[in-house]
Structure 1
Amino acid sequence: MTFRTLLAATAAFAIACPAVAQSDDAKPAAEAAPAPYEANSASETFTGTFGGRSVRYTATVQEQVLEAEDGTPKAAIVTTSYIAEPRDAERPVTFLFNGGPGSGSVWLQMGAFGPKRVAIPSDARDDGAPPYPILDNPDSLLDVTDLVFIDPVGTGFSHTIGETKGEEYWGVTKDAKSVAEVIRMWLDDNGRWNSPKFLGGESYGTTRSAAVVNELEGQYNDVALNGVILISTVLDFGAGAETEGAELGYITTLPSMAATALYHGKATARSVEQFVEDARQFAIGPYAAFLLKGQNADAQERAAVRAELARFTGLSEEYLDRADLRVSSGRFYKELLRDRGLTVGRLDSRYTGVDYDSAGETPDNDPSFYGIDGGYTAAVNHFMRDTLGYDTEERYVTIGYVGPWDWRLEGGRDTNAYLNVAPYLGRALRENSGLRIFVGQGWYDFATPFFAAEYALSRTGFPQDRIEWQYYDSGHMMYVRDEDRQKLSEDVRAFIRAR
């Protein structure tokens, strides 16, 4: 007889027999209740100079615990707050996050707006190996606003608790609801309900921004916002979709191809601004008309479009003919500098890489990502663990897998087939007269092309006088270039001050 069988037989015997050895007033021992979850945190006070002003501030890494209706802890979302001292309940506060959707806030925090930053090459070179300089960041926004960086579930140090599955938080709407809840909790805990409030994100973080705005302002118990900061914007996913039969993506990426061709000497123009504007007009004029005609376009029109397309993209007319005058981004990265044995980056097409060979249709990897990731990963772990003393067994997720991601939106019949969160922002602008939007875009960004962002935010229902546009001579993470980090800081600082 096995031990398990013996145990079962013993248990059955005990149930069948009277409990003669147990006194009448004896009670079974109560099951031990699970220990309450203790939120992790660490805090230090520093002094720095930001925007030319000396600021004493407290940095706090804190788990914000999300609970079920019965109080069971389900997830810990980590916020990193930088609060000026002495504290002011009416000082602006800005909530920031990155994208992915599996990206931690390290990029905006240690690259752009936090009080410390990692120094990597500013001229589109690889960041190499450690040690990486971690410097005071005079371009931080702490002189004009307190800062709260949020890492959604599955990013940074944030994680689920107990039996909770990450899928409960992984989706456009699910994610937005959890982030909105964290913002409300932070306002409660810090007494900041009457502070001017700004919300900002980068890349998918701009998608998240629009969805979070809907959660904060789309009901009667509003958290009203003063501004939304969109950096490298993707709102209308149809505008850049490279799907067989869809034509709009070729139009919205063409100006980015023109800027890249000019940067690498494959085109000539007086300035990137003028060349990009010419490419915009060609894209929405002759090129759009040609694409919409499909195979009904005649040979003369095709020849004229092909010649202009070659001028803007730096690609040969022979190659364009083989691609039927429709060049996907991946093909462009590989083809533009094929004669030099180089590829160009997706996040930032100023970067170049060397593939296994010069054949093939698309690059082996993105040189503009592997050119920066080592420095940021080292910096955030060093700062959080060693400088702030945040003690955790979690690994910081800079870019990780959060999936399967639920892309469905709450709403009408067609919203799930055509993902576009831009209308959330249009509604918020119409219903909050004090709300403004800042949009920052890099010329050399193919992940979130600037022309696609312009398209999304110029549709019906968007008050154009409350949308501010700024452009940068770099790519998706414009702050990796020193001059653009300074310009971005000045632009956003001015946007916050102008509330």
Structure 2
Amino acid sequence: MRKLPLVVALTAVLLSSVAVAGTDKKDEKAAAAKSDAAVMVQPQTSTSEGSVTVEGKKIDYKAVAGTLVLHGSGDKEDEPQISMFYAAYFKKGVNASKRPITFIYNGGPGSATVWLHMGAFGPKRVVTADDTHTPAAPYQLVNNDYSLLDASDVVFIDAPGAGFSRLIANDADHGKRAEQMKERKKDVYGVDGDGHAFAQFITQFMSQYGRWNSPKYLFGESYGTTRSAVVANILENEDSVDLNGVILLSQILSFDTSVDGPEFNPGIDLPYELGLPTYAATAFYHHKLPQQPAALEPFLKEVEQCAMGDYAQALMQGSRLGAAQKQAVAEKLHQYTGLPVAYLLKANLRVSGGMFEHALQADTDTTTGRLDTRFSGPSMDPMGKSSDYDPQSSAISSAYVAAFNNYVRTELKFGQNQPYRLFADIDHWDFSHKAPGAHGEALQSSTNVMTDLAAAMKTNPNLKVYVNGGYYDLATPYFAADYEDHHLPIPASLDANISYSWYPSGHMVYAHEPSLKLLHDNVARFIDQTDNLGAH
């Protein structure tokens, strides 16, 4: 056999080695994915103990960090589909079967529940600056004086694909497993699929921990309030689970009320009207009003009346609105928002949330926060039309993420070799929704779950709903929540089942410590009044 030149022989050997290495790496990756799937189909738990002092009262608790595996339905009921992570805290020394239990989750959609866990109701709380950027690590994790454990056991749940929750694709074939994952995302990443996953988690959790006879509550924030309406209806009308209460924080039930991008939905003026009181509160906070009112809340009552009165009537006229009347409305809006009259006229009296955030402090090239308009930061593009980022999110997110990643591994003893995903890897979220009572395949073009909450309230007339929000929240304005709940399709006799509390804070009400104390006290009182147990 003729010998190859040395350089050719070496090249052949190297190419062969690269090919083998590439194959080995591909095989290793496939084997690792298969191994991870095998681990996920088995529920995981890690138990620890601790104590928290809530407003002077010491509470000993057992903590369980773990996963529940959710299966499909019908011919797929034996097929594991989702591994959902939770962190549950159970008060020690009480009758667990009668102790209230609250299922808590953030929104996104597709967000982990690090925010409510580390900022609101867990036994530990991360300390952040009130309305400015929190300095970098090390961050301070302290006893949470306002943990909800004095009133209820609490279960923090990560949405599928977020946190330590994972979608499960366990086919042995790599290609089929990829198709299976694609199918999982399609089934779960949407209003209805997400709602059914959370409802299934809750019923499965109650079975595992013997909590079927406990007073039961849902607590959702932001998109979590959308989820709560869907889950409440599923639990009540598909699973025969009567809830004691649904607690909504920073509510959005109808996406037609959102101030995010209403300019792309012409003819729908409601967002501008419902956002006006938050614009006014923000201008009040930053001292941008032509005449500063003495107090916030009386001022907001005046703005609310204008929003639903003169302002709404002016917008309803569209191009029929006369120049003199348009000028008068712009001058009134200037008094309420601090925005220049010329700007308001050029905007045709319609200012979206992003436009307001960019324009309010434009004279100093400063962008106003979205989730909490008390926050400000340097504008990315001073010449832009809308804000390019949210100063509030940038100011505190790192503290929450770092604190939880350290806490869950060192104190809850979970997730040592797993990445904690702040958000699920969502390619597309299906916002279409089949409302209760809709026939055939009729789907909404814009998500609105007001009918779901109404159905749950009508089939369980004892169900109480508690709505909470911040005056400085432009992601889900408080007046939009008020409007939605006063337009629920329920009989007048059920109106009294809904109560409200508003706070001098933003979307994450609890990021402002005085508001966190009020939120805790109000929610604890709500649970005490609705748990049907008396002292516990």
- Give the equivalent residue in structure 2 for 1:251: 273
Letter in 2 for 1:211: V
From 291, 314, 331, give the equivalent of 1:290: 314
In the alignment, is residue 471 of structure 1 matched against residue 475 of structure 2? no
- Give the equivalent residue in structure 1 for 2:285: 263
After TM superposition, what 4+ stretches of structure 1 lie above 4 angstroms from structure 2? none
From 281, 298, 315, give the equivalent of 1:274: 298
Letter in 1 for 2:460: N
Choose 148-157 or 37-46, whichever is displaced more.
37-46
TM superposition shift of 1:364: 2.6
Contact 1:262 1:272 (C-alpha < 8 Å) held by counterparts: yes
TM superposition shift of 1:38: 2.5
From 210, 217, 226, give the equivalent of 1:191: 210
Contact 2:66 2:414 (C-alpha < 8 Å) held by counterparts: no
Offset from partner CA, 1:77-136 (integer Å, 9 cap, x none): 0111000113521010000100000211111111001111111112x1111211101111
- Give the equivalent residue in structure 2 for 1:427: 455
Choose 351-360 or 171-180, whichever is displaced more.
351-360
TM superposition shift of 1:461: 2.9
From 54, 57, 69, give the equivalent of 1:53: 57
CA RMSD of aligned residues (A): 1.6
TM superposition shift of 1:35: 6.0
CA distance in 1, matches of 2:381, 2:199: 47
CA distance in 2, matches of 1:218, 1:329: 37
Within 5 A, what are the aligned runs for 1:64-103?
A: 64-68=68-72, 69-88=76-95, 89-103=97-111
TM superposition shift of 1:49: 1.5
SS at match of 2:193: helix
TM superposition shift of 1:393: 3.4
Letter in 2 for 1:332: F
Contact 1:102 1:154 (C-alpha < 8 Å) held by counterparts: yes
- Give the equivalent residue in structure 2 for 1:4: none
In the alignment, is residue 480 of structure 1 matched against residue 496 of structure 2? no
Contact 2:272 2:350 (C-alpha < 8 Å) held by counterparts: yes
What's the TM-score once normalised by structure 2's chain length?
Answer: 0.84
| Percent identical | 38
CA distance in 2, matches of 1:291, 1:474: 29
- Give the equivalent residue in structure 1 for 2:250: 232
Change (3 A) 1:70 1:361: closer
SS at match of 1:491: helix
Change (3 A) 1:393 1:358: same
From 404, 425, 446, give the equivalent of 2:474: 446
Contact 1:201 1:229 (C-alpha < 8 Å) held by counterparts: yes
CA distance in 2, matches of 1:254, 1:371: 25
CA distance in 1, matches of 2:488, 2:455: 11
CA distance in 2, matches of 1:371, 1:85: 36
TM superposition shift of 1:414: 5.9
From 19, 43, 46, give the equivalent of 2:47: 43
Contact 1:447 1:476 (C-alpha < 8 Å) held by counterparts: yes
CA distance in 2, matches of 1:38, 1:225: 29
From 455, 458, 467, give the equivalent of 2:483: 455
Letter in 2 for 1:260: T
SS at match of 1:260: helix
Contact 2:237 2:459 (C-alpha < 8 Å) held by counterparts: no
- Give the equivalent residue in structure 1 for 2:227: 208
Letter in 2 for 1:250: Y
TM superposition shift of 1:142: 0.5
CA distance in 2, matches of 1:198, 1:51: 22
Offset from partner CA, 1:273-298 (integer Å, 9 cap, x none): 11211111111101111101001112
- Which segments of 5 or more consecutive residues in structure 2 lack a partner in the other structure? 1-36, 171-176, 531-536
- Which segments of 5 or more consecutive residues in structure 1 lack a partner in the other structure? 1-33
